[in-house]
Amino acid sequence: MPDAVIEARGLTKRYGDLTAVSDLNLEIREGEVFGLLGPNGAGKTTTILMLLGLTEPTAGTARVAGFDPTRQPLEVKRVTGYLPDNVGFYDDMTGRQNLLYTAALNGLPRGEAESRIERLLERVGLAEAADRRVGTYSRGMRQRLGLADVLLKEPRVVILDEPTLGLDPKGAQEFLVLIRTLATEERRTVLLSSHLLYQVQQICDRVGIFVRGRMLAEGPIEELADRILGHEPLLVEMELQPAPAAAVDAIRSVAGVESVEEDGRLLLVRAGRDVRADLVRAATAAGAGVVHLRQRGRTLDEVYRRYFQADGGEYGHDDARSPLAAKGA
């Protein structure tokens, strides 16, 4: 791919017996937002550290803006802004002072630094809090200051590790919109990692699903859904109260319904087409009340779960460790 800004070929990292990243192949184009998605310990941070030249791969190669992170770490650093999952600032200094400090470290002339910082503080929504001590900032404000810090050197590539971690839903949403503009308005290339599929999928052009060091699938979310759920029947769960036997028979005879199973108080209806409206009509006509109806499958939730199951089913729906448990977080 000629215009790939981030590239990995067979990238592998082993720590003793543990393979943290296994044979990763990846190409991210200019102006693209790519989400590396997977549960804790999947190997996302290790991948990022290899791309930044902060840890050496055991095998394989990487390129960032044409540079080899292992051999040319300084060149990679010059064109890449990195926001780690735990960004550090001097708490006794104000937001503006922290940015001035970074600008000085990067050798930016004072006048240029001041005007750039003014614009960035405005952009990340910190203009009013700029002269407050960072120690008084919320997690969301620190993240926004982190983004301003990353953008100071106008990087071509922006890499963010778990950028929405610890943010409330509104803060996360605002921060994601800000990240999206880096690609859409400025053609920067963005790689972010997250275990919160629901949060980040909305701004990613493509995602890679990462489990135990391996990228199991990669592409736009809709394509992944088609690939894994493409020809499957729809599954609808219903709860009826009252639930006369005649209603279950009526549901069975709705055109397109392939099977009806009873699972406690739930009816699981499998169908070859979207039969939801017909199910409600049939049940109601037979004297039932529909108190719950939900379509299972063909949702992102299902796509994610299937990839984990395909990998050995480590995570179930109700497992607190499951990425799905964080849904809506």
Ligand X SMILES: Nc1ncnc2c1ncn2[C@@H]1O[C@H](COP(=O)(O)OP(=O)(O)OP(=O)(O)O)[C@@H](O)[C@H]1O
Beta carbon of residue 22, minimum distance to ligand X (angstroms, whole number): 11
Closest C-alpha among 172, 226, 228, 170 to residue 196 = 172
Residue 53's Cβ-side half-sphere holds a number of Cα atoms within 13 Å equal to 18
3-class DSSP state for residue 135?
A: helix
Question: Is the CB of 94 or the CB of 194 nearer to ligand X?
Answer: 194
Applying CB under 6 A, does 15 fall inside the site for ligand X? yes
Query: 221: exposed, middle or buried (C-beta count within 10 Å: 0-12, 13-18, 19+)?
Result: buried
Question: Is the CB of 44 or the CB of 206 nearer to ligand X?
Answer: 44
Give the CA angle between residues 35, 99, 45 to the nearest 5°.
25
Question: Is the CB of 94 or the CB of 164 nearer to ligand X?
Answer: 164
Question: Is the CB of 37 or the CB of 121 nearer to ligand X?
Answer: 37
Element (H, E) at 262: strand 257-263
Closest C-alpha among 222, 216, 278 to residue 250 = 278
Q: Is 292:239 a contact under the CB 8 Å cutoff?
A: yes
Beta carbon of residue 161, minimum distance to ligand X (angstroms, whole number): 7
Tell me the site size for ligand X, rule CB under 6 A: 12
Query: Contacting ligand X (CB under 6 A), which of 20, 50, 117, 260?
Result: 20
CB neighbours of residue 59 within 10 Å: 13
* Range 150-209, binding ligand X (CB under 6 A): 195
Angle between helix 221-229 and 300-310 (nearest 10): 60
Beta carbon of residue 127, minimum distance to ligand X (angstroms, whole number): 32
* Range 32-51, binding ligand X (CB under 6 A): 38, 40-46
Question: Is the CB of 48 or the CB of 236 nearer to ligand X?
Answer: 48
Applying CB under 6 A, does 62 fall inside the site for ligand X? no
Beta carbon of residue 213, minimum distance to ligand X (angstroms, whole number): 7
Question: Is the CB of 44 or the CB of 96 nearer to ligand X?
Answer: 44
Question: Is the CB of 252 or the CB of 321 nearer to ligand X?
Answer: 321
Beta carbon of residue 192, minimum distance to ligand X (angstroms, whole number): 12
Binding segment for ligand X (CB under 6 A), chosen from 13-21, 114-122, 227-235, 286-294, is 13-21
Query: 32: exposed, middle or buried (C-beta count within 10 Å: 0-12, 13-18, 19+)?
Result: buried
3-class DSSP state for residue 111?
A: helix
Applying CB under 6 A, does 64 fall inside the site for ligand X? no
CB neighbours of residue 172 within 10 Å: 22
List residues binding ligand X (CB under 6 A): 15, 18, 20, 38, 40-46, 195
